[in-house]
Structure 1
Amino acid sequence: MTTPTYEDIKIIHEKLVSMRLEYWLEHNVFTFQWWLLLTILVVPWLVWWLFVDKKNISRILLFGCLLMILVLIMDDLGVELQLWSYRYQLVSILPRLISIDQGIIIIFHMAIYQFFPKWKSFLIANIVMAIVFS
């Protein structure tokens, strides 16, 4: 067996992208699950905006953005190593569950960060959230 070249990998990757788009268009977009994912992404951000402390919004958003980067890296790593995959996706070109990665997880963590300013209560709230989400 010969070692694949970069061009071999690129051709297979292009085919995978094409297949993923075809699958997404045929089986995902505008299905109930797709609308649910869209709702799960948008609604938490709207609710968060109503309750966020506007005086500390830059600090809370910085925390959320740093956490979002970490969550996206971990999710990409899990997908790349084939530890998990997602049958339904909001966007075909991203092999991750952005509704959860950039919605629910981030919003709940930012809310905990805002409402539990002391380390002890912050850690306890995160542990409780982890138990509930797991």
Structure 2
Amino acid sequence: MTNTEHIIKMTDKNTSQIHVLIEQKVDIWLHYVLFSPLWWIAASLTIIPWIFWLLFRPRESTDRLMYAGFFVMIISLVLDVLGDQYGLWFYRFNLIPVLPTYFPWDLTLMPLSIMFLLQIKPQANPLFKALLFAIATSFIGEPFFAWMKVYVLIHWHYYFSAPIQFCIYLVAHYISRRTKFSKLT
């Protein structure tokens, strides 16, 4: 057996085992999580804040804020998947069973919190806002979801998140201030 054939065999076996575990996860989700109170909370936290934002956003800043918000969504999803896959944390009561992320956090709460901070007092020091965001998300938001038994820390501590959240806010702030787009022709 060649090295390539050995790698293919190991990878196929691993993928087969993962598929069995995903089927078990979906079965648990269908029978116990879907439509449970914590599932409804997740669904509500994913949808309702966006409705409020659409109604009360500063319309002249929508594109700029969404530009920063999409960056936050992407980076949040990527970091969440990496943390889950490396066994640093995991989520129970997922909105969608096969995705190892908590949609309300990654697609709503993180981006909307940053978008809100970007639009409120736009001339305020971004370092202060980044610090406020990092403290709120790392030491209030994460412990709250852990208390609800949704977020389970394995090899992670809340204070590890603070510098990451700080940097995410600063990059989003930078992105939201970009003005150099060429005209479409």
Q: TM-score, normalised by structure 1?
A: 0.90
CA distance in 2 between partners of 1:13 and 1:114 (Å): 43
| Counterpart in the other structure of 1:104 | 109
Task: Name which of 124, 128, 141 aligns with 1:124.
Answer: 128
Unmatched 5+ stretches in structure 2: 1-5, 140-185
CA RMSD of aligned residues (A): 1.7
Unmatched 5+ stretches in structure 1: none
Shift >2 Å, 4+ stretches: 116-119
| Counterpart in the other structure of 1:58 | 63
CA distance in 2 between partners of 1:84 and 1:29 (Å): 21
Greater RCO between the two (CA within 8 Å, min separation 6)? Answer: 1
Q: TM-score, normalised by structure 2?
A: 0.67
Q: How many percent of aligned residue pairs carry the same amino acid?
A: 25
| Counterpart in the other structure of 1:32 | 37
Amino acid at match of 1:117: P
CA distance in 1 between partners of 2:130 and 2:31 (Å): 38
124-133 or 5-14, which deviates more:
124-133
Larger gyration radius, structure 1 or structure 2: 2
Amino acid at match of 1:103: T
89-98 or 43-52, which deviates more:
43-52
Deviations 1:27-46 (A, max 9, x none): 20000000011111111111
CA distance in 1 between partners of 2:58 and 2:25 (Å): 40
CA distance in 1 between partners of 2:64 and 2:13 (Å): 46
Shift of 1:124: 1.3
Amino acid at match of 1:30: F
Shift of 1:14: 1.0
| Counterpart in the other structure of 2:54 | 49
Deviations 1:7-62 (A, max 9, x none): 10110111121011011111200000000111111111111112211112111101
Task: Name which of 77, 80, 92 aligns with 2:82.
Answer: 77
Report the count of equivalent residues.
132
CA distance in 2 between partners of 1:116 and 1:72 (Å): 27
